[in-house]
Amino acid sequence: MDIESIRNICINFPGVTEGIKWGNDLCFTVGGKMFCIALLDNPLKVSLKVKDDEFDELSNLQGIIAAPYAARHKWILIQDVSVFTREKWEDYIKQSYNLVIAKLSKKKQAQLK
C-alpha cells in the first residue's frame, strides 16, 4: 500500500477534504473531523479509528500499535502498511469514515448525502 492508494480510497467518500497538518501529515476529514491520517515520513504510517471491540486485537498485531495521543479514542497506528491487503485497507478506512460520520450532528450527516 502506498500514499496514492490510501488517498484514492479516502477521497472517494462523500464530503471528504484533505490537508497537511502538523508539518508532514496528510489528514482526511469529513464534517471537519479526521478519519484517516497518513504520516508522510519514510516509511509511510497510517492512523485510523476502529471499533471499540476491535481496538485491543488490532493494536496488538505485529506492525500496529495504539495511536499515540489518540488511543483513548480507539485509534490505531499502522506502522507496517503491508500488514493489510488492499481489501482490508478499504474496509478499515471505510469503517473509520463511518465511525466518524456517526458522531457528527444529524444536520451535518444530512449535508453529506
The model's confidence at residue 74, banded by pLDDT at 50, 70 and 90, is: very high
Nearest to 50 by CA among 29, 32, 64: 64
Beta-bridged to residue 76, according to DSSP, are 48, 66
Is 95 a residue whose pLDDT tops 80?
yes
A 10 A CB-CB count for 67 gives 23
Give the pairing type, strands 25-30 and 33-39: antiparallel
User: Would you list the domain boundaries of the chain?
Assistant: 3-112
Measured CA to CA in angstroms, residue 39 lies from 6, 28, 92, 108, 113 at distances of: 11, 12, 17, 27, 29
Q: What is the pLDDT of residue 23?
A: 86
Q: Domain 3-112, what fold?
A: Aspartate Aminotransferase, domain 1 (3.90.1150)
If one counts every other C-beta atom within 10 angstroms of the C-beta of residue 13, the result is 17
Distance CA 77, CA 37 (A): 9
pLDDT in tens, 3-52: 999 999 999 999 999 999 988 899 999 999 999 999 988 899 999 999 99
Give the global pTM. 0.93
